[in-house]
Structure formats: C-alpha cells, structure tokens
Chain A
Amino acid sequence: MLIYFIRHGESETNLNIRLTGWYDTPLTEKGIEDAKKAGEFLKNVHFDKVFTSDLKRAKKTADIALPGYSYEESKLLREINVGSLSNTPHSDISKETKKITAKIGYSDFGGESRDDFISRISLFMKQLENSKYNTVAVFCHAGWMRAMLDIVTGLYLPRQSVNLGNCAITIYKLNGTLWQLNGLFNIPSI
C-alpha cells in the first residue's frame, strides 16, 4: 500500500505566526494556491481512499487538491491539541513554555501530551495496517506528519530540523505493519 500524507495549505494562523492546534482556522488565498499545487503533483495518482482531518484547513485542502473524490473525516488526524495555547502568537510563548512543550507536549496547558498524540497517530496507522487499500491520500497537519516521521524512523526530530511546509507531501510504503518512507516533497519541489 502507498500512502500519501499531505499537509494543509497556508492557514490564517500560519500567516499570522500563531500556534494553531485544534483551532479551526481557514486557508488563506496562498493556502488555496498551495492546495492547487499539491493537486497538480497528485493529478496522475489514483487513490482508492481519501482521509482527511476534520479541521477545515485540511478538508478545504482536500477539496481543492483532489476534486471529485469523496473523503472520510477522522478526528485521529487532527493536529496536536495545544490546549490554552491555541491561537496564541508564537512570539507570546515564553522560552520556558517552548522547552516544556517540545519535551512533553501540551498536557500542562490543557492539551495533549506528546505520548497521547503519538498514541492517536499510532491508532490511525493501525487502521491502515488492517485495511486493504492500494493507494491512500491523507490530508493532515505538520505536527502529525513530523510525529509520524518520528514513529517510523524511531528518532525524535524537533520542529526546526526538517521542514514540512504547507502542502508538503510525505509518501510511505506499507507492507504488513512495516512502514517505509518513500518520498518527501515541499512546495518549491512540487
């Protein structure tokens, strides 16, 4: 099975450099263009299943990138819940808070711990492992895709180590329960 994970296009909170989490922010005009570019990249791929996070930035990206497909919404695909830090400007978040959240996630702020987030992602991965699709598209979020990279590589890659920009695409090959990263593309490449 081949699985394409696609990050949503630029959102209002991305543009305003705010922490987003479950805050349901819409795409910007550039975000719509991002989604069209992702659609161009994906146009020759036939998907037999499309999943999307139930947050509107991901759903709108799916609508634009893969018109004509119906998709299944899943809460498992949501970004990490950042609790009370939702929609907070990055510049207002203290160094100390950033240290805590990088290490354990957002449980101290009423959100999800990193462990809970990883468990949620693993549940979705398990769902795919038990399915019989050939080619799947999954519209989701940067934190989600980065955490999945951590799960598959067995390493923790902090936010600043690898860019997964808006509409970045990672491609995995799934054989049984074995996941292998097969591609990683950012918008300038696609």
Chain B
Amino acid sequence: MYNPDAIAQWIYEKYPHFFESVTNNTDIEVPLSTVMPSVTPVCFGTMYTGTQPEVHGIQKYEKPVITIDTFFDALIRAGKKPALITYSRSSLSRIYLERDMDYYQFETGDIEDVNAKTMQVILEDKHDVIVIYNGNYDKIMHKQGPESPEALAEIRLNSHIFAVICRLVEEHWKNHNTLVGFAMDHGCHEIDDNCGSHGLDMDEDINIVHLYKGFARREE
C-alpha cells in the first residue's frame, strides 16, 4: 500500500498526465471522502482501523499510538507479517507502533531512503503486507502551493515510484495474489501567498481517490 500525503481528487482530475504512471498500472478507482478533520494522523488512523476518529481516538493533529484493534493487529492474528516503511517523524510511523511487525524508519524527511528500502523489502518477499509513506508532495504543497510546478513535480515522482513498485510486485511476487494501492490520506487547498493547507470540511480537502490493481498468482 503506497501512501502519498495530501494529493487531492481535484489535483488528480485537473492534472491527469502527472498520474499516468499510476493510472496505467491500476484498474480500480475508488472516490472517497476523508474523515474530519482532514489531517494526516486522523485520516491514517481511520484508513488502517476502519473506524471514525472518535473510535480510534485521534481527533486532531497529534500522534499517539492507537490502542484499538487495527488492520495490522488483524493481520498479525492471522499469522501475516506486515511492514511499515516511513520516516520517523511522520504520523504513520508513530500511531501504529507497539505491534509485532517490522518498522523501517528513516531519520531524514526525504523519500529516497524510504523508497530504496521499499524496493529491497519487496524483492526480499518476506512480508505479506507492506505500507509505505511518501510525504514529499505535502511538504512542498504547504510551502509553494498545491499547483506549483515544484509540487506537481513531486506527484510525477510519486507516480513513477508507484509504477516501479507495481513492476517489482509483478515480477517478484508471482506466487502471491497481490493487491497494490495508491492511497492518499486527504486532499488540500490553496491559501494566501501561494501556499497550501488542509484540515477543513471542504471538497478540496476531503475528496480523494484511491487506485488499485490486483495481480493474480501465476506460479505454483
């Protein structure tokens, strides 16, 4: 599961060419609305528990460890091995700690270490579920705006990384039935001075699109 941060549905619809590497590699497009407030820990809290914020407990921008049953707990009970690949200050790296799963966390806020580790982990094929976080678009979007050339370049980069993930899964996970997802946490909107933000109950922030592709098992 590839989780880029803050890529809105309106960006996806307005700049489809930046998503070509994603749409060429996926079959299923699911429009969704996020929970409120539309900020990262609240939304990822819901994405991997399937519950409303008042149930998982994160209702504002904070990063406590979620204590209710999560997607990861269910996997572990089923004997599966999940891995979470993030950088250490990100929300996703904090809120699902304390589980019997593999955490790969990197100190820098750059995505290059996360993505190199992702490739390594896919190639090693020792995990059943891999969740990856890339916050590069969010970082630039806040500073330079959702539609700045710099922010859009980050989306192209995310798309290419996702395509590489799909390629590696297709080549190396032939003996598994695999679902690959491009799934953002929330959207974003433009604010004054060409900056970007999110967290409000408005279409730009809460409307997102998740994209998926299933790869059927091909080897005994």
Q: What residues of chain A have their CB less than 8 Å away from a CB belonging to chain B?
A: 153, 155-158, 160-165, 168, 180-186, 189
Contacts and interface: CB of A to CB of B under 8 A. Distances in A.
A160 B21 contact: no
A189 B120 contact: yes
Contacts of A162: 112, 115-116, 119, 161, 164
Interface of B: 21, 110-113, 115-117, 119-120, 123-124, 157, 160-161, 163-164, 167-168, 171-172
B120 A161 contact: no
A153 B116 contact: no
Q: DSSP class of A's interface residues: helix, strand, loop or mixed?
A: loop
A186 B164 contact: no
B123 A158 contact: no
B17 to A, nearest CB: 14
A164 B111 CA distance: 12
Contacts of B167: 153, 155
Dominant secondary structure at the B interface: helix
A95 to B, nearest CB: 10
Contacts of A155: 21, 160, 163-164, 167
9 tightest A-B CB contacts, nearest first: A163-B112, A163-B116, A184-B119, A162-B115, A163-B113, A184-B120, A155-B160, A162-B116, A161-B157
A162 to B, nearest CB: 5
A183 B157 contact: no
Given A153-B167, A161-B161, A184 B112 contact: no
A160 B116 CA distance: 11
A161 B155 CA distance: 11
A90 to B, nearest CB: 14
Contacts of B124: 183
Contacts of A157: 160-161, 164
Given A157-B164, A184-B116, A186-B113, 9 more contacts: A158-B157, A160-B111, A160-B157, A161-B112, A163-B110, A163-B112, A163-B113, A168-B116, A186-B117
Contacts of B157: 158, 160-161
A157 B168 CA distance: 14
Contacts of B164: 153, 155, 157, 162
A160 B160 contact: no
A181 B21 contact: no
Nearest to B122: A184
Contact of A181 (B110, B123, B160): B123
Contacts of A163: 110, 112-113, 115-116
Contact of A183 (B110, B113, B120, B160): B120
13 contacts: A155-B21, A155-B160, A160-B110, A160-B111, A163-B110, A163-B112, A163-B116, A168-B116, A181-B168, A181-B171, A184-B116, A184-B119, A184-B120
Contacts of B112: 160-163
Contacts of A181: 119, 123, 168, 171
Given A160-B112, A163-B112, A184 B123 contact: yes
B164 to A, nearest CB: 5
B139 to A, nearest CB: 12
A21 to B, nearest CB: 20
A55 B145 CA distance: 43
